[in-house]
Amino acid sequence: MATSRLQMEGDDSVLLHVTHSNLKSFAADVRFSPQMNVEAVKEKLWKKCGTSVNAMALELYDESGSKVAVLSDDTRPLGFYSPFDGFRLHIVDLDPSSVTTGGWLEDTSLVEKYTISEEDYAKRTDSYRKFKEKRVAQNPAASEVKTKEEDFMEDLCGNIKVGDRCQVEPGEKRGVVKYVGRAESLGPGYWVGIQYDEPLGKHDGMVKGTRLFECPQLHGGVVRPDKVKVGDYPERDPFEEDEI
Residue 79: per-residue pLDDT: 93
Q: 117 by DSSP, 3-state: which?
A: coil
Number of domains in the chain: 2
111-148 pLDDT per residue, tens: 555 566 777 777 777 766 776 677 767 766 554 545 56
Residues 10 and 88 in one domain: yes
Between CA 77 and CA 33 the distance in angstroms is 9
Residue 237: per-residue pLDDT: 73
- Residue range(s) defining the domain that contains residue 211: 154-242
- Would you say residue 134 lies in a domain? no
Residues 15 and 98 in one domain: yes
- Residue that is last in its domain, among 103, 124, 145: 103
144-195 pLDDT per residue, tens: 545 567 788 899 998 999 999 999 998 899 999 999 999 888 888 899 999 9
- Residue that is last in its domain, among 103, 118, 133: 103
- Would you say residue 140 lies in a domain? no
Residues 98 and 18 in one domain: yes
Q: What CATH number does residue 158 fall under?
A: 2.30.30.190
Q: 191 by DSSP, 3-state: which?
A: strand
214-243 pLDDT per residue, tens: 999 999 999 999 999 999 999 987 655 544
Percent of the chain with pLDDT over 70: 76
- Would you say residue 125 lies in a domain? no
**Buried/exposed code over 75-101 (b: 16+ C-beta within 10 A; e: otherwise):** eeebbebebbbebbbbbebeeeebebe
Among 8-12, 17-21, 112-116, top mean pLDDT goes to 17-21
Higher pLDDT, 212 or 128: 212
Q: How wide is the angle at C-alpha 69 spanned by C-alphas 68 and 74, nearest 5°? A: 160
Beta-sheet pairing, 228-230 with 220-223: unpaired
Q: What CATH number does residue 62 fall under?
A: 3.10.20.90
- Would you say residue 35 lies in a domain? yes
Between CA 208 and CA 69 the distance in angstroms is 43
Residues 11 and 90 in one domain: yes
